[in-house]
Amino acid sequence: MAPFKSQNMSLNSYTIKENGEISIAQVLQGKAADIEPSIHMNPVLLKPKGNFTSQVIIQGKAIADMNFHDYQHKFRETIISAIRESLEKLEKEYDIIIEGAGYPAEINMREEDLVNMEIADMVDGDVLLVGDIDK
């Protein structure tokens, strides 16, 4: 099994053996699965910088600082291509557990989704929704 989170927003990152940077969460998930963490486990890492701007890291390499609009609209096809490529590479070697983020039922965010149902559709995957009623 291998963990996969297409896009993560975090300042907590780690440089792995592939000389790329991914979220520390996916590093720990890889270690928990007893496999070497890979840039393909977290192909898109957003490191927030303020004012709706983040440093965009694609497959471990810093690409640019972008605002939300440019990231979601002008750069979307590049992002989807990187996500698809990472999924294909992982699927050759592992069964994958995909982690989403936020709320998959936010219809106002559906067209911008790069983490939840878009990825489930991409892999024709089954979806298990886990909730925490206390929150």
> pTM, whole model, 2 decimals?
0.88
SS3 of 64, please? strand
- Parse the chain into domains and list their residue ranges: 2-123
Q: Regarding beta strands 96-98 and 2-4, do their DSSP bridges make them parallel or antiparallel, or are they unpaired?
A: parallel
User: Letter for the amino acid at 70?
Assistant: D
What average pLDDT does this structure show over 4-32?
95
Give the separation between CA 48 and CA 55, rounded to whole angstroms. Answer: 6
- Give pLDDT, residue 135: 65
Determine the pLDDT at residue 109.
Answer: 67
| In the predicted structure, residue 117 carries a pLDDT above the cut 90 | no
pLDDT at 115: 80
Note the pLDDT of residue 119. Answer: 85
